[in-house]
Amino acid sequence: MKILVTGFEPFGGEDINPSWEAVERLHAPEGTELVRLRLPVVFREAGEQLAAALRREQPDLVLCIGQAAGRDAITPERLGVNLMDASIPDNAGFQPQEEPVIPGAPTAYFARLPVAALAEAIRAAGVPAQVSNSAGLFVCNALLYRLLYEMETGYPHMRGGFLHVPCLPEQAERLGKEKPLPSLELSRIVRGLQAALDFFGENREA
């Protein structure tokens, strides 16, 4: 089984993004091949790079990872919506307002992941996790929607979805406007994401 795992570059003035820091530290479960991809925090370019990687790598499973400041747990996302509505510009200066990710495409897609079971596997590793019903409307959601659209239209047997991770402790104070944000140490983020990978390594048809 080939697994493609993506993380993002820093954004919003930060010099670190825990999604990519964690992805770099993951290892392939026994009997699998792990491919890593670092994506730009740029609405359309991130989706194009992911689509190219799907064509090139033909993975069986895709896990996209992103940072969600303000969350206190790793959150598998239940669905991606066909909408971009950004409160800040992306790293290319693009700040869409109420624009579709893909014009004319369906309103939303459900992730092709057993999100509840995945959250339980992460909690079993001692890391907080819960299912999320909203991936926001920034680049993370746009990437998730593009992934699900690509799978729906061209890769019927591929599985995939998105997991958000909290910010790191060193980010929490400077990102919080009135008080430090919830955070999670990088070692625990890695442990939780590794538990997610191991879940699929042990449950090849999940």
- Marked catalytic residue, from 21, 140, 150, 167: 140
9 is catalytic: no
d(CA 177, CA 172): 10
- Marked catalytic residue, from 14, 21, 164, 167: 164
Segments in the chain forming alpha helices (H): 18-23, 43-57, 115-124, 139-154, 169-175, 186-202
Element of type H or E holding 110: strand 108-110
157 is catalytic: no
- Marked catalytic residue, from 14, 21, 77, 150: 77
From residue 116, alpha-carbon distances to 18, 62, 64, 197, 205 in Å are 23, 17, 17, 15, 15
164 is catalytic: yes
State the catalytic residues: 77, 140, 164
